[in-house]
Structure 1
Amino acid sequence: MKPWKRKGDKVFGELDKQEAAVLRGLVSQIDDMLKARIEETPQDELAELTGIRTGPTTSPDDPVLSRLLPDFHRLDDDNPSKAELDSAAVLRSIHEPTLLDLKTGVAGVVLDTCPMFGGGVRLSLEQADAWLSALNDVRLALGTAIDISDDMPDELPDDDPRSPHLAVYHWLTWVQESLVQALSAE
């Protein structure tokens, strides 16, 4: 991929066939995980009566999904009080449905605008912002899955099973950085 370019209120990029397949595949996986979380939402009679959507009260068990849907209230790790536990559950229940909508929405924008077999990408500024959010979600998920840390080297030995995934992580970082620079231009 060449660096993103901005011309007025449009942003242009180009992905080769493999890049498009990798990006679409990763975004689709994240989208599927998020939609599965939506399906797990318990039925709530009060929500049905009032039209106010609610979500789960507990964070996801999956570490990747938990990273994408963090707690809205940080608990005292040593000794959380019942009030803290209750407030964390209520905040999650109230805000997670909106967060899921936003995350599946940006994934949808990428899947709608990323050419299936590679080629040119033309984005409005709003679509480019959606791409930034979706790229961030993919990087967070991939970074969690391969246990990226501050002290991890830029390259891993070839026999480390995380090595190819780290290369994809670095590529996604570059794509995101290039898009930020293009949006900041002008």
Structure 2
Amino acid sequence: MQGWSRENERLVATVTPQEAAVIRGLVGQVRDMLAGRAHEAPRDELAELTGIRTGPTTAPDDRVLARLLPDFYRLDQEDPGDTGEDRDDAAGAMRSLYEPEVVQAKSDVATMVLETCPSQGGGIALTDQQADGWLTALNDVRLALGTALEIDEETPDELPEDDMRREHLGVYQWLTWVQDSLVGALLT
């Protein structure tokens, strides 16, 4: 990939078969993880009648999913009346109400990336709205990969040859570049 550019009203890039496989594989894995989480949602007769979906009240046990689906409410450190129990109740209620929408939105952009990224490599042409979806999906992949690899601000740009994360760090850095290139093209 040479980077994203704007041509007329589209953002365009060309990916090699290997690049397409990496993007499609990682985005597909994130979408599958989210689908698994959606299947954990409790079945509620009222929700089935009203169409209002509810989700789990607790954060995911998997640390990658927990990074993709953080708590919606956090304890207010400056409010002495905000106890851990209050936070847990509020966080559970907020998660139950909003997580299904977040999972659906993340799944939708992942599906859109899979639909617009050619499986054998080749040209990609996106509208601005599709590019926003790509940015969201790439961000989710980077969050998931960064969490799995335990990447933080102290992680060096290059890991020792004997570090098992070395090759995956290169993929993480490439995805960061792809995302940055797309942001740059969107701003032109």
Give the TM-score normalised by structure 1.
Answer: 0.95
Which letter does structure 1 place at the counterpart of 2:54?
Answer: T
Tell me what 1:131 maps to: 134
Tell me what 1:31 maps to: 31
* 3-state SS of 1:156 partner: coil
* 3-state SS of 2:70 partner: coil
Deviates more, 1:26-35 or 1:3-12: 3-12
What's the CA shift for 1:46?
Answer: 2.0
Q: Tell me, in whole angstroms, the C-alpha distance in 2 between the residues paired with 1:80 and 1:163.
A: 42
Which letter does structure 1 place at the counterpart of 2:185?
Answer: A
Which letter does structure 2 place at the counterpart of 1:182?
Answer: A
Percent identity, aligned pairs only? Answer: 58
Which letter does structure 2 place at the counterpart of 1:153?
Answer: P
Q: Tell me, in whole angstroms, the C-alpha distance in 2 between the residues paired with 1:3 and 1:102.
A: 26
Q: Tell me, in whole angstroms, the C-alpha distance in 2 between the residues paired with 1:35 and 1:75.
A: 29
Tell me what 2:58 maps to: 58
Q: Tell me, in whole angstroms, the C-alpha distance in 2 between the residues paired with 1:44 and 1:35.
A: 18
Tell me what 2:115 maps to: 112
Aligned length: 184
What's the CA shift for 1:164?
Answer: 0.4
What's the CA shift for 1:8?
Answer: 3.1
Q: Tell me, in whole angstroms, the C-alpha distance in 1 between the residues paired with 2:148 and 2:161.
A: 18
Residue 88 (structure 1) aligned to one of 69, 86, 91 = 91
Tell me what 1:21 maps to: 21
What's the CA shift for 1:9?
Answer: 2.0
* 3-state SS of 1:107 partner: helix
Tell me what 2:106 maps to: 103
Tell me what 1:8 maps to: 8
What's the CA shift for 1:82?
Answer: 2.1
What's the CA shift for 1:45?
Answer: 1.7
Structure 1, unaligned runs of 5 or more:
none
What's the CA shift for 1:76?
Answer: 6.3
Tell me what 1:171 maps to: 174
What's the CA shift for 1:80?
Answer: 4.2
Residue deviations 1:38-76 (CA, integer Å, cap 9, x gap):
111110122122221110000000000000001000136
Which letter does structure 2 place at the counterpart of 1:184?
Answer: L
* 3-state SS of 1:120 partner: strand
Tell me what 2:151 maps to: 148
* 3-state SS of 2:150 partner: coil
Structure 1: 4+ residue segments shifted above 3 A:
none
Structure 2, unaligned runs of 5 or more:
none
Q: Tell me, in whole angstroms, the C-alpha distance in 2 between the residues paired with 1:110 and 1:50.
A: 31
CA RMSD of aligned residues (A): 1.3
* 3-state SS of 1:86 partner: helix
